[in-house]
C-alpha cells in the first residue's frame, strides 16, 4: 500500500494505521464469516493434520500458485483505472446535457455510501467525501480509493482548496474502512485463486463469493467503527 500511495504524493496514508487495520481485520473477518456462514457440522480436518497439510502444500505449490494471482492483481488494477476514467468521462458528458457538469462516479457513490460513513463516526461535513471513497473501494478497488485519500490529505495539509477542512478523524476512519479486498474487482481474483487450490469446490466458491464480499465489507466497517470510537478530538489513539 505504501508504495502505491507514494506515487500520489508525499502526503500519503499512515502506514501504521494500515498495519493496525490489517491486524484488526483478521478477527473481524473471522467473526463476520461465522455470522454469514455458520459452521454447523463437525470439521473433517483437525487442527494438527490441517496444519501439517498446509505447510507441505505451501512449501511445494505456494510460490507457483502466487504467480498468476499477482499478475491478475496488476491486470485488474490497470483495467479498472481505465474503466473509471471512461465512466467519469461518460457521466460528465451526460451531465453536460442536463446542465450538471459536476456529475461523476464519485458523486453518485458519495450519495449511496454517505449514511454508512456517518454511522462509522465520520463528521457530517466529511461524510460525503468519505462516501465517495467507499464507493471507489467497493466498485473498483482499494488502491484507487487510497490514491484519492492521499490527495485529500495533501490538499488539507496544503490548504486553500475546498477539501482543506477534511479532518484527521475522518482520515483515520476512512483509512480503516478502505483497508480490505472486499470489492467487485476482487471477486474474480478470489474465485480464480481459490478454485486453482481446490478445483472440486468451484461451484461452492462461486456461490459464496458475493456473500464473502459483503462480509468483508462489514468487517472493514467494524474496524473503522473501532478506530472512530478510540479516536478523540482529532488526535490519533496511537499518540
User: For residue 3, what pLDDT band results from cuts at 50, 70 and 90?
Assistant: very low
Q: What are the tens digits of pLDDT across the range 62-121?
A: 667 677 767 766 776 677 677 777 887 888 888 888 888 778 777 888 888 889 988 888
User: For residue 236, what pLDDT band results from cuts at 50, 70 and 90?
Assistant: very low
Q: What are the tens digits of pLDDT across the range 47-64?
A: 555 555 556 666 666 667
Q: What are the tens digits of pLDDT across the range 113-151?
A: 889 988 888 888 888 889 889 988 888 778 888 888 888
pTM, two decimals, is: 0.71
User: For residue 228, what pLDDT band results from cuts at 50, 70 and 90?
Assistant: confident
3-state SS, one letter per residue, for the chain: CHHHHHCCCCCCCCHHHHHHHHHHHHHHHHHHHHHHCCCCCCCCCCHHHHHHHHHHHHHHHHHHHHHHHHHHHHHHHHHHHHHHHHHHHHHHHHHHHCCCCCCCHHHHHHHHHHHHHHHCCCCHHHHHHHHHHHHHHHHCCHHHHHHHHHHHHHHHHHCCCCCCCCCHHHHHHHHHHHCCCCCHHHHHHHHHHHHHHCHHHHHHHHHHHHHHHHHHHHHHHHHHHHHHHHCECCECCCC
Amino acid at each position: 500500500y505504501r508504495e502505491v500511495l507514494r506515487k500520489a504524493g508525499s502526503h500519503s496514508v499512515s502506514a501504521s494505521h494500515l498495519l493496525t487495520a490489517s491486524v484488526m481485520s483478521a478477527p473481524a473477518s473471522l467473526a463476520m464469516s461465522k455470522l454469514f456462514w455458520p459452521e454447523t457440522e463437525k470439521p473433517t480436518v483437525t487442527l494438527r493434520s490441517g496444519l501439517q497439510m498446509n505447510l507441505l502444500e505451501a512449501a511445494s505449490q505456494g510460490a507457483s500458485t502466487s504467480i498468476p494471482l499477482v499478475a491478475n492483481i496488476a491486470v485488474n488494477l490497470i483495467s479498472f483505472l481505465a474503466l473509471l476514467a471512461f465512466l467519469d468521462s461518460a457521466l460528465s458528458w451526460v451531465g453536460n446535457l442536463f446542465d450538471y457538469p459536476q456529475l461523476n462516479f464519485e458523486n453518485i457513490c458519495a450519495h449511496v455510501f454517505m449514511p454508512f460513513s456517518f454511522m462509522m463516526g465520520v463528521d457530517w461535513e466529511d461524510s460525503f467525501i468519505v462516501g465517495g471513497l467507499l464507493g471507489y473501494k467497493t466498485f473498483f478497488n482499494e488502491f484507487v480509493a487510497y490514491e484519492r485519500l492521499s490527495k485529500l490529505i495533501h490538499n488539507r495539509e496544503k490548504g486553500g482548496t475546498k477539501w482543506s477542512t477534511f479532518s484527521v478523524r475522518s482520515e483515520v476512519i476512512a483509512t480503516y474502512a478502505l483497508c480490505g479486498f472486499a470489492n467487485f474487482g476482487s471477486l474474480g481474483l478470489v474465485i480464480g485463486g481459490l478454485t486453482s487450490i481446490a478445483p472440486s469446490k468451484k461451484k461452492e466458491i462461486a456461490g459464496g463469493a458475493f456473500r464473502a464480499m459483503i462480509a468483508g465489507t462489514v468487517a472493514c466497517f467494524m474496524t473503522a467503527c473501532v478506530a472512530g470510537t478510540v479516536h478523540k478530538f482529532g488526535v490519533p489513539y496511537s499518540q
